[in-house]
């Protein structure tokens, strides 16, 4: 089983390290301002909702993020829980976000045959060619390759059923708005 593509070890493991740090900063702020009862300045109060949002996002990411190795027959997924193989026939859709500067996020929704439930995973792919680094809106080769493998085993797979490539950007923006509004309300 030869690996065709894989996740970026640096990006994946950096997120595994950064996530607890972000959550720790948030918890320290909660302790410092509310439990130890230190004086809260406006700047810190303004940032508290943002840290809350960032903590929620990284906790979600840490549970969905996988280091993957893509081969012709399946995808090897590695997480903090261990290893698992994903057959292409169980993939419901693949999606690559529209933005990124060598930090694209690829989402894969698949049917877990053990639980009979759909799961979504994230992967941060390696960059292989200068073409992938130059064009902002083009799909990466890993996304194209996985889609090709899916259509080989599932000819009824339709690209039209994939979520918008803007979905992640919309989700990030829409979930951040309430926290920004709370920040402005707190400093008034």
Token pair 């309300």 is found at 185
Q: How far apart are CA 165 and CA 116, in angstroms?
A: 26
**Total residues belonging to the chain:** 188
| 1-188 placed in CATH 3.40.50.720 | no
Give the global pTM.
0.84
Q: How far apart are CA 85 and CA 82, in angstroms?
A: 11
169 vs 90, residue with greater confidence: 90
pLDDT in tens, 169-185: 888 889 999 989 988 88
pLDDT in tens, 116-131: 999 999 999 886 555 5
pLDDT in tens, 72-82: 999 999 988 89
Average pLDDT over residues 54-76: 92
């Amino acid at each position: 089983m030869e690996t065709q593509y894989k996740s970026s070890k640096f990006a994946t493991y950096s997120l595994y390290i950064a996530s607890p740090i972000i959550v720790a900063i948030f918890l320290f702020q909660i302790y410092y301002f509310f439990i130890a009862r230190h004086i809260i300045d406006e700047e810190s109060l303004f940032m508290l909702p943002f840290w809350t949002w960032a903590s929620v996002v990284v906790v979600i990411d840490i549970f969905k993020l996988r280091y993957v190795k893509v081969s012709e027959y399946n995808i090897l997924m590695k997480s903090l829980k261990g290893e698992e193989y994903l057959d292409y026939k169980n993939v419901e859709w693949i999606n690559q976000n529209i933005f990124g500067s060598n930090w694209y996020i690829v989402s894969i929704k698949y049917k877990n045959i053990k639980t009979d439930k759909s799961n979504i995973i994230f992967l941060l792919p390696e960059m292989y060619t200068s073409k992938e680094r130059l064009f902002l809106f083009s799909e990466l080769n890993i996304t194209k390759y996985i889609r090709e493998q899916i259509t080989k085993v599932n000819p009824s797979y339709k690209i039209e059923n994939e979520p918008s490539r803007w979905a992640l950007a919309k989700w990030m923006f829409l979930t951040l708005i309430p926290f920004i509004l709370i920040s402005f309300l707190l400093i008034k």
